[in-house]
Structure 1
Amino acid sequence: MRNPIRIERFFVLYLPWIFSWILSSFPQSSYLVAWSGSFFIFLITMTGWVKPIPADRNLGEQLMRPLFLTQLIFAGYMCCSTIFYYLDTIGYENFHLLNHLFKPDPKKLILIAQCQRYYCLGHAVFVSGILLFMNYPVKKKYILQTVNLADLLLYIAVITVLVSAFFAFVPGLEQVSTQFTALSFIAATLALAFAIPLQQLPNIIISGVLFLFNFYKSFLSGYKEPIIVSLLVLAIFLYPVYKRTVTFIFVPLLLLIFMVLPTYNQVFRQNAWSGNLSAEAASKIALNAAFDNSEEVKYSNWGFLVFRLSEIDMLIKYLQTTPKTVDFYEMKMISQSVQSLIPRVFWPNKPNTEDLVMKRVYNAGIAAEGMNVSAKPALIADAYLFEGGIGIFLILFLYGVVAQLIALKAESLFGGYILGTALIYSGLFQFLWRGLSFEFLLNSVFWSYITMLLIARFLFIIRILKKAD
């Protein structure tokens, strides 16, 4: 039975944005209404008030679907993390007001409120796209021929590691290697989560080694996302069986890592990326610095929360320059996105996608050409650069629709939630959790979708999947 759609409840999703727009003459009130509006949207969508939660699985067993994890990470990162930037603007540092006589810049507050209204609108539109096409249970094209999911997931984890390593050495196919690396990480995490309740010691050892190897690589990458995601995904997979354990162990652990990662990453990059030290040596120095409870560490963590956790500082700069001095990009962004789909093997002189995207950064004055930085606009910023508020409405709605349709297709092709959403959608389309610039997003969606179809066909040929009756 399909979940019913009640249009009047969809309208409620936009009330925070409407109220914040009405209060636009009072920037701080407008900001707070728009910011808290995202939590309101989380509440009424994840509890099933706007549209009933799918009844084909228990709530804890469908957390990897777009309505939950994709929305939580995407909107949480994009919309909710701006609070630290706002607090810094009104005179707070490390959650303490430095001067009670401090008067914030009124022009900056107006821009912050405007950005937050765009974020709130983007969140509402994004989840509208998800909910409109959230139709479960899925009509399956293929079903699994094996009931031993624990072993199957372990085999997939090992094989995808090998496939990833192979494509890493094939010129021009690094993107395929990246896809299978992400898939192997999710497969290993799933295999570990399945093996633990079943107490299958060989599976626990092999999948545990793969998980720890991925976690170790994440620590030596210099990026914060893989570390957080690796623990978050394991917690989600274990939650249906070990609710209390996950709550009391993984939640504090994630909070601890969130607190020490800013300093760790900063010190690691200073030593490893400059070429002065090996990644292993830089990691040891960074860990010591991260657990040093000094004022310098506290300042580093606050700077991370204010300027790097959120993208609002860059969005403000885009608002100041577009369309005032730089026109909306419109069709130029679309043509560049289509260009990005063509493999370089067929177009050796294809313009570098990174350079094309970075021109938007240079035009806004965020960075100067020649600087060794990568500050590509996030999705809502790119949607604004496309066509302002209209661009945000159109692009974010399409983004939600695409995320949901891909998840549905994955469950149809791979026999249901475990292989479809938990493995394939979460592995091949993990970038949908955060969003990318237009050109990279279209390229990643297109080629990951092709890879998904090829994997389904391969599993059908080797008789792991069979056609549904």
Structure 2
Amino acid sequence: MAKRTANPIERYIVLYIPWLLSLLFANDAIVSYFIAWLGSFFIFFICYSGYIKPIPTDRNIGEQLMRPIFLVQIVFVGYMACSSIFYFLNLLGVNDLSGQGIYFIVDKEKLALTAKCQQYYALGHAALASGMILFMNYDFKPQYRTDRNKLANVIFQIAVISLPISILSIRIPGLSQFYFQFSSLSFIAGTLALAFAIPLKKAATIFFSLLLYISNFYQALTSGFKEPIIISVLVLGIFLYPNYKKIVTLVFGPALLLLFIFLPTYNHVFRENAWGDNVDSDEAYKLALDATINGDEEEDNSTWGFLVFRLSEVDMFTTYLQSTPANVGYYGFTLVKQSAVAIVPRIIWPGKPITEDWVMERVYNAGVVKRGSTVSAKPAYIVDGYLSWGIPGVFFSLFIFGALAQSISVKAEQLFGGYILGTALIYSGLFQIFWRGLSFEFLVNSVFWSYVTMLMVHKILLKKRILEKI
């Protein structure tokens, strides 16, 4: 008798076991939370084990880490679902890993809300993984190719050309959105060119690529945001990993850990000076670096405070759960419609409503921040899914997110002759928004115009015969 082959649908259902189990134990917030939280690691295992669909075999694992199933899923889910553990431990009384205080009283309502948020995270992760795996198909006949001997030079040229384009676009009214796309593309291209040049021992390319990387890293340090700094180190490590596995593991692993330890102090001091005291960025950078080295930090801005309240957005999610649908009804298709309007460039429609105002309106409605506050607290992508339709909204929005992230990567490899130019360069350079996600309106606008930019770059490379049709 022939061995029965499992139905693919049955295998996808396995991804949702953590969510279903967390619902089963919903009456015990602590048990439910940890089932849902550990569930994300279970989903990672299922994805990478090949149980539902094998990982692409056209490249070694270390040579395809920029594909969505790896980088996008790990970074996005790590930030969305896995980072909440510190907040939950803090609710249980753990303070800076020193244990529970003698007079600490557990807030059972907050504990239950956080567990419920984690249930949504488990559902969202399962839906995202489903979308990625379903559309993960790199087994296509190549239509374009590029000369591998010229690949390093081509990547470096793209890095150099993208930089002035990004600067020009931010100075032209209505085209500022292209600044972020081309500046990211320049950074990814420069980093990739450096990673290519080092093993090839091309001194000139190494020198200029290193200058470009240092320049981008300094811009990250003086941006006032943590993500660009971490990404600068992470991406270089990923690009170097295939050729220098041991060195990258020994150097970049600890480097990322140190960043998580010291960045909260650095970032707080920099913002306080550059944004609050009108100090120029160079001086603010020196003051922040000095404070970080000397360990000058307040309790609220400690590493533990960063891990609890700023690494994760679960605290804000609990506020949305309290207000919707109890006080504020589900938004239905309202956010989707606003996202469609957000695509229209302001240069075509000067009177277009300000996207930030739309997004902040639901923040005010939920009571996350007070109206008129200078704080910007945009809801995370999964929160917008919940605010739209509850559980179905979380499922469909995250499934679409995963499907889009994956299918665009496949399309990029089809257009640019494979992984290096397709996913590692163009996809990673233009679609970094998939790594973190944002509110519906910002994400849809960014993905749409990044896709248009990708098609334009494809046409230019074809015209310049950098790409050749097979």
* TM value normalised by structure 1: 0.97
Q: CA offset at residue 98 of structure 1? A: 3.8
- What corresponds to 2:410 in structure 1? 408
**Contact 2:268 2:301 (8 Å CA) reproduced:** no
Instruction: Give the deviation of 1:297 after TM superposition.
Output: 5.8
Match of 1:246 in 2: 248
Alignment-derived partner of residue 343 in structure 2 = 341
Q: Is the partner of 2:206 in helix, strand or coil?
A: helix
Matched letter for residue 92 of structure 1: V
- Is the Cα–Cα contact under 8 Å of residues 376 and 437 in structure 1 kept in the other structure? yes
The whole-number CA distance in structure 2 between the counterparts of 1:177 and 1:265 is: 23
Q: Structure 1 residues 99 and 297, CA, compared in 2 at 3 Å: closer, same or farther?
A: closer
Task: Name which of 375, 378, 381 aligns with 1:379.
Answer: 381
Over aligned residue pairs, what C-alpha RMSD do you find?
1.4
Is the CA contact (8 Å cut-off) linking 2:260 and 2:303 kept in structure 1? no
The Cα of 1:139 is off from its aligned counterpart by 3.0
Map 1:40-439 onto structure 2 (within 5 A): 40-100=42-102, 102-145=104-147, 147-293=149-295, 296=298, 300-439=302-441
Change (3 A) 1:139 1:288: same
Say which is worse superposed, 83-92 or 292-301, in terms of deviation: 292-301
Report if aligned partners of 2:330, 2:389 keep a CA contact under 8 Å in 1: yes
SS in 2 for 1:96: coil
Q: Structure 2 CA distance, aligned partners of 1:426 and 1:93?
A: 37
Secondary structure of the residue that 1:25 maps to in structure 2?
coil
Q: For structure 1, list consecutive stretches of 5 or more residues without a partner in the other structure.
A: none
Separation in 2 of the partners of 1:7 and 1:245? 41
Cα distance in 1 for partners of 2:7, 2:429 equals: 30
- Could you tell me which runs of 5 or more consecutive residues in structure 2 were left unpaired when the two chains were aligned: 1-5
**Could you tell me how far apart the structure 2 residues matched to 1:319 and 1:161 are?**
42
Measured in 2, the distance between the counterparts of 1:50 and 1:105 equals 40
Q: What is the alpha-carbon distance in structure 2 between the residues aligned to residue 141 and residue 170 of structure 1?
A: 36
CA distance in 2, matches of 1:91, 1:295: 22
Instruction: Give the Cα separation in 2 of the matches to 1:77 and 1:238.
Output: 24
CA offsets per residue over residues 12-64 of structure 1, 9 Å max, x none? 11111111110001000000110011111112212323321101111110000
Q: CA deviation at 1:67?
A: 0.3
Q: CA deviation at 1:99?
A: 1.6
Secondary structure at 1:458's aligned position in 2? helix
1:429 counterpart letter in structure 2: F
2:11 pairs with one of 9, 13, 19: 9
Shift of 1:349: 1.0
Conservation of the 8 A alpha-carbon contact between 1:263 and 1:297: no
Aligned AA for 2:319? K
Residue 441 of structure 1: aligned partner: 443
Partner of 2:3: none
Counterpart Cα distance in 1 of 2:402 and 2:268: 33
Q: CA deviation at 1:170?
A: 1.5
Bigger mean CA offset, 143-152 vs 290-299:
290-299
The verdict on how the C-alpha distance between 1:5 and 1:133 changes in structure 2, with shifts beyond 3 A counting, is farther
Matched-pair contact (CA < 8 Å) for 1:190–1:237: yes
Provide, for residues 165-222 of structure 1, a one-character-per-residue CA deviation record: whole Å limited to 9, x for no partner: 2222212111112110000000000000000011110000000000000000000000
- State the distance in 2 between where 1:108 and 1:264 align: 30
Does the 8 A contact of 1:263 with 1:300 survive in 2? Answer: yes
CA distance in 1, matches of 2:72, 2:342: 24
CA contact (8 A) 1:112 1:312 kept: yes
- Contact 2:291/2:297 (CA < 8 Å) preserved in 1? no
Q: 1:334 to 1:358 in 2, by over 3 A?
A: same
CA distance in 1, matches of 2:294, 2:366: 37
Aligned in 2, Cα 1:139/1:269: closer, same or farther, shift over 3 Å?
same
Query: Partners in 1 of 2:102 and 2:304 — Cα distance?
Result: 19
| 1:445-464 matches, cutoff 5 A | 445-464=447-466
Kindly provide the CA deviation profile for residues 56-111 of structure 1, in whole angstroms up to 9, marking residues without a partner as x: 11111000000000000000000000001001111111112242563311111110
Shift in Å, 1:292: 3.0
* CA contact 2:237–2:252 (8 Å) conserved in 1: yes
Specify whether residues 243 and 391 from structure 1 end up closer, same or farther in structure 2 by C-alpha distance, changes over 3 A only.
Answer: same
Q: How many angstroms does 1:113 deviate by?
A: 0.5
Shift of 1:5: 7.9
2:370, 2:176 → 1: CA distance? 28
Deviation at 1:9, TM superposition (A): 2.1
Is the contact made by 2:386 and 2:393 (CA closer than 8 Å) also made in structure 1?
A: yes
1:300-334 Cα offsets, whole Å, 9 max, x none, are: 22211111110101110000000101011112111
Kindly provide the amino acid, as one letter, of the partner of residue 375 in structure 1: A
Q: Would you say how many aligned residue pairs link Structure 1 and Structure 2?
A: 465
